[in-house]
Structure 1
Amino acid sequence: MTGVASILPFVLMFAVFYFLLIRPQQRKSKQRNQMLSQLKKGDKVVTIGGMHGTILEITDDIVVLRVNDATKITFDRSAVNNVTTSAPAPAEKKEEKTEEVKA
């Protein structure tokens, strides 16, 4: 019985660390990875260094941001901190029905 009593504080300490530190960090990491995977052209983003820009080009590991009208800067995709404004979803093209005119 004393063996269980001596292990119980360590088990409780691990449970507290898990729910207060490990689990929230895993959730935050998952949200960040999801945000990075959903980046697309036209998104307005802020980098880790505080640079604001709009995505012009994007590949698996590189993002090209337009900072102003004449300046383009290349960053690693992981340098994006958050998305401030998401680009609008591309509008679906309406199928134009053309009717043949019979003469």
Structure 2
Amino acid sequence: MQDLVSLLPILGIFLIFWLLVIRPASRRQRKLQAVQRALQVGDPVITGSGVFGTVRSIDDDKVRLEVAEGVVLTVARQSVVGVVEDEQREHQDPVADDTETPTTHEEQ
């Protein structure tokens, strides 16, 4: 009986660890897998490295993302971490057009 009582603190620590660390991590993993399985062509997504793009095609383990007009990247399906909501897309800064250069006129 005393042996059982001495194991209670260890079991309590394990239970707390499971509730605070393992359980939430497994929930996040299941949610991420559900997002990756539900991907559809045309979805705006973000990858784990922070690349925003639009899904152009989906294979078993690869996704082709259009990140700019005419620029398509092939990434692992597991690298897609979320679908970007319209609200998040509005907050993205538009890419500056590098073709326009300011002109300065110096009068002499």
TM-score bracket, normalised by the shorter chain, equals 0.7 to 0.9
Please give the secondary structure, in 1, of the residue aligned with 2:13. helix
Structure 1 segments unaligned to the other structure (5+ residues): 87-103
Q: RMSD between aligned alpha carbons?
A: 1.2
Q: Are the equivalent residues in 2 in contact too, given 1:63–1:74 (CA < 8 A)?
A: yes
Match of 1:71 in 2: 71
Q: Are the equivalent residues in 1 in contact too, given 2:46–2:81 (CA < 8 A)?
A: yes
Q: Are the equivalent residues in 2 in contact too, given 1:43–1:85 (CA < 8 A)?
A: no
Match of 1:19 in 2: 19
Distance apart, 1:79 and its partner CA:
0.8
TM (norm. structure 2) is 0.75
Letter in 1 for 2:69: D
Please give the secondary structure, in 2, of the residue aligned with 1:12. helix
Aligned structure 1 segments of 4 or more residues deviating by more than 3 angstroms: none
Structure 2 segments unaligned to the other structure (5+ residues): 87-108
Q: Deviations over 1:55-99 (max 9, x none)?
A: 00101100001111111110000111211048xxxxxxxxxxxxx
Cα distance in 1 for residues equivalent to 2:81 and 2:29: 12
Letter in 2 for 1:60: D
- How many residue pairs were aligned? 86
